[in-house]
Amino acid sequence: MAAEEREALRAQNELDAKTLKLTEFISANDLASLMDVNVNEVIKVCLGMGMFVSINQRLDAEAITVIADEFGYDVEFLSAEEDEEPIDMSDAPEDLVSRAPIVTIMGHVDHGKTSLLDYIREASVAKGEAGGITQHIGAYEVKTKSGNPITFLDTPGHEAFTAMRARGAKVTDIAIIVIAADDSVMPQTKEAINHAQAAGVPIIIALNKVDKPTANPEKIREELSQMNILVEEWGGKYQSQEVSAKSGLGVEDLLEKVLLEAELLDLKANPDRNAVGTVIEAELDKGRGYVTTVLVQTGTLNVGDIVLAGPHYGRVKAMTDYRGKKKKVAGPATPVQVLGLTGAPQAGDRIQVMETEREARELATQRQQLAREQSIRTKKHITLDEIGRRLAIGSFKELNILVKGDVDGSVEALSDSLLKLSTPEVKVNILSKGVGAISESDVLLASASDAIIIGFQVRPSQSARRLAEQEQIDVRLYSIIYNAINEVKDAMEGMLAPTVHEIVVANAEVRQVFNITKVGTIAGCMVTDGSFTRKTRVRVVRNGIVQYTGEIQDLKRFKDDVSEVRQGYECGISVKNFNDLQEGDNIEGFEEQEIKRKL
């Protein structure tokens, strides 16, 4: 058995040695050194495949895979963060101390998540949110009556924020799913439960609004049981609590249940090490620069530390808690706002303390280069096939959009929602997205590419506004995500070619035919249905078969030209460019109506 194990280990090591772990767009020289061959060998292989590469040329994934295959290597692609040395998160058991549980509040729009959190921390957030909807992830630290700290993450409920909610479930220890007792289990509630289950997080169900006369908690429990979520009252494993965010009924019991779950999880972290955490949110503040909300997961973050978050780095100039009070240190499971980063990292990025500024700068630059390279390589240029497809559709349109928002999470969510609106006939292009006020450069980019600018909770600067008026660029400002999505949808519907419907407005029977020289054939008709005007388009139908479609040349009653002939009257009709009229023919009058299409 020992020999077999040794053999299996040797085979595995051999296999690992033959697998290259690398990021896309590494240079030919780097690839050669990874495979331990001369760079000239790599260039020779490329020439053999009809590719001309120089030593420092960056290669895409396809080229790397083919070249590595020639040398007998398998390739495993990593992202920029994965490529670096993994952060050692293991600590000696004696260094670990208990930490506060991180609790995410999830659920559907309007089910009372923020109101519940408000009651817990005795501050009114919901009133300040646009339209009463939470559009950012908020992180708050709360102390219970028993003196135990709990960290809360409030995630948005609107479906556009799926990505942000998924990130909320990744950093959390316990999830509270809030469901309104006077409503039902909504699709987003199910999605929140799925996120929590996928992250392997214990779930506590909070049945909110139980003090309403229309509340029916039993109905909610029944709906949950159909999803295989059995609460403890029904003999299941999930804790549930009836609460009222308005009166505070049952909130203390809910917190006790959270602490009970936390006790079972036995949460510990080492405060005496370099801090590692997760970016919850990032925004650009006019006076303070880039403000990043960070949740420290292990270690202690100090003012003056050099931190790296995604493609940005910086020295921590100042830290504040969610109420704006200054802090010098932040231990494990503490949410803080950090000032000093060079840009706005993405929500969900890992933030870590680095030893030296040089190391942080090098890693940040490397990540920026990779991101830039990927964005350039993945820009789609138009192909002949695509031109053919657009010609076949006949009326292909593009709607170019620039998205600017106050925080990164909202920008991502809005961009994703707008991209989903694309149809085969109208394509939505997000030219650029970013955090911060709308600047002159945004307006110039929009002008160069015929784009519209969508600002979410941000405003254009004075000079940008003037420039937009000069260049006649449409700048739309929103504070509620539904409105932005609906208005872009309306704009796209306006770009769709309308459908044309024909409506039969009149019928006339040909009773007699007169041939008049220099004029042509005139049909003496009886209008059997509707009314004819001179502008009515007509079809000549014989024995149910259409002979000709055209326009009326003359419309007469006796010898006089008339503008309209109604049902039950006789008239003379001559049809433009058609003289083959016969007795018994039917002349059908129709109009074409354009109907606006919906997406």
Q: Model confidence over 255-284: pLDDT tens digits?
A: 889 888 888 888 888 888 888 888 888 888
Q: Is the pTM of this model over 0.85?
A: no
Q: Write the burial class of residue 83 (CB in 10 Å: 0-12 exposed, 13-18 middle, 19+ buried).
A: middle
Domain of 426 in residue numbering reads as: 384-495
Same domain, 223 and 123: yes
The secondary structure of 535-577 as a DSSP string is: T-EEEEEETTEEEEEEEEEEEEETTEE-SEEETT-EEEEEETT
Same domain, 252 and 283: no
Same domain, 144 and 261: yes
Q: Report if residue 91 sits inside a domain.
A: no
pLDDT given for residue 586 in this prediction? 93
pLDDT given for residue 149 in this prediction? 85
Question: CATH no. for residue 418?
Answer: 3.40.50.10050
Please, which pLDDT band fits residue 220 given cuts at 50, 70 and 90? confident
Question: CATH no. for residue 584?
Answer: 2.40.30.10
For the chain, give the mean pLDDT. Answer: 82
Question: CATH no. for residue 172?
Answer: 3.40.50.300
pLDDT given for residue 316 in this prediction? 92
The Cα 432–Cα 412 span in angstroms is: 11
Q: Which of 22, 49, 78 is where one domain is finished?
A: 78
Q: Report if residue 83 sits inside a domain.
A: no
Q: Model confidence over 490-500: pLDDT tens digits?
A: 877 777 777 78
Q: Model confidence over 55-74: pLDDT tens digits?
A: 877 787 788 888 888 888 88
For helices 162-170 and 408-419, angle between their N-to-C axes, nearest 10 degrees = 130
Q: Model confidence over 531-563: pLDDT tens digits?
A: 999 888 999 999 889 899 999 988 988 888 888
Same domain, 396 and 482: yes
Please, which pLDDT band fits residue 387 given cuts at 50, 70 and 90? low
Same domain, 107 and 127: yes
- Looking at per-residue pLDDT, the higher value among 385 and 330 belongs to 330
- Looking at per-residue pLDDT, the higher value among 551 and 376 belongs to 551
Same domain, 295 and 348: yes
Q: Report if residue 85 sits inside a domain.
A: no
Same domain, 507 and 488: no
Q: Model confidence over 293-349: pLDDT tens digits?
A: 888 888 899 999 999 988 899 999 999 887 778 889 988 888 888 999 988 888 778
Same domain, 125 and 263: yes
Please, which pLDDT band fits residue 126 given cuts at 50, 70 and 90? very low
Statement: residue 170 has pLDDT above 80: no
Torsion over CA: 483, 486, 491, 494 (sign):
negative
Same domain, 413 and 491: yes
- Looking at per-residue pLDDT, the higher value among 194 and 511 belongs to 511
Q: Report if residue 87 sits inside a domain.
A: no
Please, which pLDDT band fits residue 168 given cuts at 50, 70 and 90? low
Q: Report if residue 415 sits inside a domain.
A: yes
Domain count, the chain: 5
- Looking at per-residue pLDDT, the higher value among 440 and 372 belongs to 440
Please, which pLDDT band fits residue 588 given cuts at 50, 70 and 90? very high
Q: Which of 220, 250, 269 is where one domain is finished?
A: 269
- Distances in whole angstroms, Cα of residue 460 to Cα of each of 144, 255, 342, 453: 43, 43, 22, 10
Same domain, 106 and 231: yes
Q: Which of 339, 356, 375 is where one domain is finished?
A: 375
Q: Report if residue 477 sits inside a domain.
A: yes
Q: Model confidence over 195-208: pLDDT tens digits?
A: 788 777 889 999 98
Provide CB contacts within 8 A for 303, sequence distance 6+. 316, 317, 318, 319, 327, 328, 329
The secondary structure of 382-446 as a DSSP string is: P-HHHHHHHHHHS--EEEEEEEEESBHHHHHHHHHHHHTT--SSEEEEEEEEEES-B-HHHHHHH
Same domain, 401 and 540: no
Q: Report if residue 86 sits inside a domain.
A: no
Same domain, 179 and 227: yes
Statement: residue 132 has pLDDT above 50: no
Q: Report if residue 313 sits inside a domain.
A: yes
